[in-house]
Amino acid sequence: MNTNHKSNIINHKSRGLSLVELLVSLAITAMLLTATMVAIDASFQAYAAAAESASTQTATRMVVNRLLTLIRTSTAHGPLLDDPTDTPPVVLLADGQTLESYYITLLNPQGDLIRIEYRDATHATTPNQLWLIIDPVGGGPQQSQPIMGGITDAKFFIHRRFDSEGVLVLERGSIDMTVEADDAASLALEGANLPPIRVIASTMPRKLN
């Protein structure tokens, strides 16, 4: 084998990547990295959405369970009559025994007057919130505070009955509530555009007679 042929073989073996090969390699690497980032982002978004949905459901269950406990253990309830002048109006439904209302009132075992009130999107200062208002027994200062935000709709249903003395009392109380993730309680990493959560629950108060 002559010297020139050996030199050609050595030069061929030691040759680096051409510009075309380098560009193809970079393009393949970019596509792989892009696909990896898309998969990671989708996984992160799914995790964030699940975390926010779980936190909203947990908060909603806690509030609803507390409301049901208040209804079960209280001794008097309202409203028990329709009121078309209220805003929104308290409406008597077609069955003649059930009221639809944006609030419910009750007396707790200590004798405090409690009002649970939904303030919708038209409320000037506290829209889409559920509020707890307490008038203590004995005439102390009224206490009021929001107990949940992000509520796009809430209705109380008061099914009435006549007791042994012919007085209207609560037979069963229900709440139908639609909740979205509250922006004030959301973390920056949490997902967005989650479907709202609808909760329907009811309970009967203790029978007085």
pLDDT tens-digit map of 175-193: 999 998 755 444 444 445 6
| Residue 18 counted as domain residue | no
Question: Is residue 29 one of the residues assigned to a domain?
Answer: no
Residue 104 confidence (pLDDT): 96
Confidence (pLDDT) at 12: 52
What is the structure's pLDDT at 5? 53
**pLDDT value at position 208?**
60
Question: For residue 209, is it within any domain?
Answer: no
**Position 70 pLDDT exceeds 90:** yes
- Give the tokens for residue 106: 């009750």
- Which pLDDT score is estimated for 90? 96
Q: Which residue has the tokens 């004995």?
A: 138
Identify the H or E element spanning 22: helix 19-73
Q: Which among 59, 63, 57 has a CA at the least distance from the CA of 195?
A: 57
Give dist(CA 131, CA 144) in Å, integer.
7
Number of domains into which the chain is organized:
1
Quick count: other Cβ atoms within 10 Å of Cβ 177? Answer: 23
Residue 74 counted as domain residue = yes
- Residues 151-175: pLDDT tens digits? 999 999 999 999 888 999 999 999 9
Query: Phi/psi zone of residue 128: left (φ > 0), alpha (ψ -120 to 50 degrees), beta?
Result: left
Note down the domain range covering 90: 38-203
Does residue 43 fall inside a structural domain? yes
User: Can you tell me the mean pLDDT for 107-132?
Assistant: 93
Q: Is 33 a domain residue?
A: no
**In this structure, what is the dihedral angle of CA atoms 100, 104, 109, 112, given to the nearest 10 degrees?**
-150
pLDDT of residue 123 exceeding 50: yes
pLDDT above 90: percentage of residues in the chain: 53
